Amino acid sequence: MNIYITGGTGFIGSYVVNELAQNGYKTTVLARNPEKIPLLKKLPYVTIKKFNLYNLSTFFKTVKKMDAFIHIALGWGETGPEMVKNETLPSIALIDFAIKKGAKKIIFTSSTAAVGPIITKTNENARCTPSDFYGATKGAVELFISAYSNYYKNLYLNIIRPGYTFGNPVVIGAPVEPDNRFKDICKKAKYGKKITLIKNDGTQFIWAGDLAKIYLNVLNSNCKNEIFFGLGKDFITWEQIAKWAFELSGNKPHITLINKGWSNNPPMYDVSKIEKYFNLSFNSVQKIKEHIKYLLTIS
């Protein structure tokens, strides 16, 4: 299978590329800077080509055929119109192009932000009520995926909605998660500084290597127009992560909690679908501790 993937030099994308390579898939990574991660192109069956999400004409001319397309790259904008221009339109154009170039399987990377704030246990069928432009643009492309699935009934178009994804660099020189909360907590814990957090603030963290397994399983499946949450099964608070960081750094905990009235029983995303379809269920505790150890060494 000849797979094209955008965002392959980013954090999540590099893990997906590694997962595909380790399973023998011929993968072409489309990257703005092909030299960003030199060791990535040394993985088996991996080729990296220059690609600009905002200038697709050259890409359209060079690609002859693809069997599958995985879209992870993200365009950005500060306003609604900018997000439509930089993320929604390029994503739809790429999906349309991939279909015309023969791709039978397409995976779009959405986000739990497409769903918006949740107040009860929520599954993939919940109505999308995004609270920001990022969630709105992801939800918009999801609707187009549904429409394309209706137009092309012989194709396998599916959506993955990752949550908070963390992990060490998959190869030397690759990135870690772009959010800095893990890094900030580990740096303060290492030097015994006070950490201020919101009581009961947390999420269903997922290690990037586990998320990559969801991509592989969706790719290998015959699912059509399905949505899958990419999340761990357990809710873990930032307070707990800070406690582990102090413990692993050998320092006494110095944590201040701000009580905003958040419940001890937080709303959860229902991750039973990935278990039902692919027998996948992820506990992230050990990987979080490994990640904390790594961040403590570089803080």
Q: Which two tokens stand for residue 127?
A: 């109505």
The predicted pLDDT at position 61 comes to 78
pLDDT tens readout for residues 152-197: 999 999 999 999 999 999 999 999 999 999 999 999 999 999 999 9
pTM: 0.97
Pairwise CA distance, residues 249 & 271, whole Å: 32
According to the model, what pLDDT value does residue 59 have? 77
pLDDT tens for residues 52-91? Answer: 888 888 778 778 889 999 999 999 999 999 999 999 999 9
Which one, of 150, 148, 133, lies nearest residue 94 by Cα? 148
- Which conformational region is residue 266 in: left (phi greater than 0), alpha (psi within -120 to 50 degrees), or beta? beta
Please check whether residue 91 is in contact with residue 145, taking contact to mean a CB–CB distance below 8 angstroms.
Answer: no
| pLDDT tens digits in sequence order for the chain, 299 residues long | 899 999 999 999 999 999 999 999 999 999 999 999 999 999 999 999 998 888 888 778 778 889 999 999 999 999 999 999 999 999 999 999 999 999 999 999 999 999 999 988 999 999 999 999 999 999 999 999 999 999 999 999 999 999 999 999 999 999 999 999 999 999 999 999 999 999 999 999 999 999 999 999 999 999 999 999 999 999 999 999 999 999 999 999 999 999 999 999 999 999 999 999 999 999 999 999 999 999 999 98
What top-level class would CATH report for the domain 2-165+206-230?
alpha beta
Listing DSSP states for 121-153 in one string gives -B-TTSPP--SSHHHHHHHHHHHHHHHHHHH-T
For the chain, the structural domain boundaries read 2-165+206-230
The C-alpha atoms of residue 259 and residue 47 are separated, in whole angstroms, by: 50
Helix/strand/coil for 27: strand
DSSP assigned state of 46? E
- H or E segment and range at residue 255: strand 255-258
User: How confident is the model at residue 267, as a pLDDT?
Assistant: 93
